[in-house]
Amino acid sequence: MNYKFTIIVPVYNEEDNLERVEKELLAYSKIATQPTTILFVNDGSKDSSQTHIETICNRNENFNYILFKENRGLSAAIKAGFDHTNTELVGYIDSDLQTAPEDFNLLLEHIGEYDLVTGVRSNRKDSFVKNMSSKIANGIRRSFTHDGMDDTGCPLKVIKTEYAKRIPMFKGLHRFLPAMILLQEGKVIQISVQHFPRIAGTAKFGVWNRLLGPLMDCFAYLWMKKKYINYQVAKKS
């Protein structure tokens, strides 16, 4: 099939979620507004996630995987997904499925005019501490980036692949994807999406990851913004 859209699914120790991931993404691929392929990126899981992933990919032709030799983090997994995407559009969703694959269609409605469309989790089903730390972290990040985004941590995004491949990723930069598209003089928009409680597995981010870590990453982003190289080719032979 001539796929147009790749969904990256970063995985780290999510053995209890993967059968549900298969079911939900297989169902979504049948209603997707773009022909869709799924790419698991196994970030060095230490449980049986890889066995589940290989079984899923063997029985579904539009499912593929990458396995890291060792755990390298969410930003690395997303970057690897971008690097191995050959479709016009790329997106990602977390394997905990706290967001709904069907909402990709809401984002895809806007990708023609915009270069990145990100979800905003409405009525979040997380703990008070998790919600507050994320809200504070987003406020800090906005003050540094001025990207106008309320929820860059939302694990539901669609990006034009040509822009995604030009993002110079480093650890923690997955929170700055809209800002990095703006550095390329691209256009971004946020769209409200559904949010659900985690029903299996354990969260990989604590208060440090959501609050103090992003604060440090803001300074890395400012350095990147100052040094970022952006150009457009006017003509070539």
Determine whether domain 5-227 maps to CATH 3.90.550.10: yes
Residue ranges of domains in the chain: 5-227
Q: What is the pLDDT of residues 129-147, one digit of tens each?
A: 565 666 666 666 666 767 7
The whole model's pTM is what? 0.84
Whole-angstrom Cα distance, residue 7 to residue 79? 13
For residue 173, what pLDDT is reported? 79
For residue 45, what pLDDT is reported? 97
For residue 206, what pLDDT is reported? 54
Q: How far is CA 168 from the centre of its chain?
A: 15
Longest dimension (CA), the chain: 57
Single-letter code of the amino acid located at 63:
F
For 20, the enclosing helix (H) or strand (E) is helix 18-31
Measured in residues, the chain has a length of 237
For residue 114, what pLDDT is reported? 97
Backbone torsions φ then ψ of 121, nearest 5 degrees: -70, 110
For residue 203, what pLDDT is reported? 60
For residue 211, what pLDDT is reported? 59
Low-confidence ranges of the chain (pLDDT < 70): 124-143, 145, 198-214
CB-based contacts of 231, cutoff 8 Å, min separation 6? none
List C-alpha distances in Å: 196 to 38, 164, 199.
21, 27, 9
